[in-house]
Amino acid sequence: MKTRIAVALAALIAAPAFAQPQTQGGHTAHRGGAEAQGAPLAEGEIRRVDREAKKLTIRHGPIASLDMPAMTMVFQVKDPALLDRVKPGDKVRFAAEKLGGAYTVTAIEVQGR
């Protein structure tokens, strides 16, 4: 009887820890990867282009393929040539995947050009 109570009590104490979302770099972890291929492009606005670090800061709407809500975040780019296509303030549509543990822009198009 004491064993059952101890097991039940341990399960109740541990349950909240398992219910918490995992985080990565200050963002809630999101699904991603192969399912992102062929997904609709997300919409966003370029906030910063960091050619040296090969990164883009994008304020974006929800990214369904990554189960990610709207936010502003830094993405790596799969191809550094993508950095030459954009500048801060550009409205864009883009595809992103989680590659090697990093959220990465794999394609981008500027709207209105």
The conformation of residue 55, written as its DSSP 8-state character, comes to: E
- What confidence score (pLDDT) does residue 13 get? 53
**Mean confidence (pLDDT) of the chain:** 79
- What confidence score (pLDDT) does residue 39 get? 64
- Ranges of residues in the chain whose predicted pLDDT is under 50: 7, 9, 12, 14-36
Give the type of residue at 18: F
What are the tokens at 35? 């399912």
The conformation of residue 66, written as its DSSP 8-state character, comes to: G
Say whether domain 24-110 belongs to CATH 2.40.50.320.
yes
- What confidence score (pLDDT) does residue 40 get? 82
Our CA dihedral for 55, 72, 62, 77, rounded to 10 degrees, sits at 0
DSSP three-state, residue 90: coil
Sign of CA dihedral 76, 34, 108, 46: negative
- What confidence score (pLDDT) does residue 61 get? 96
pTM of the model: 0.66
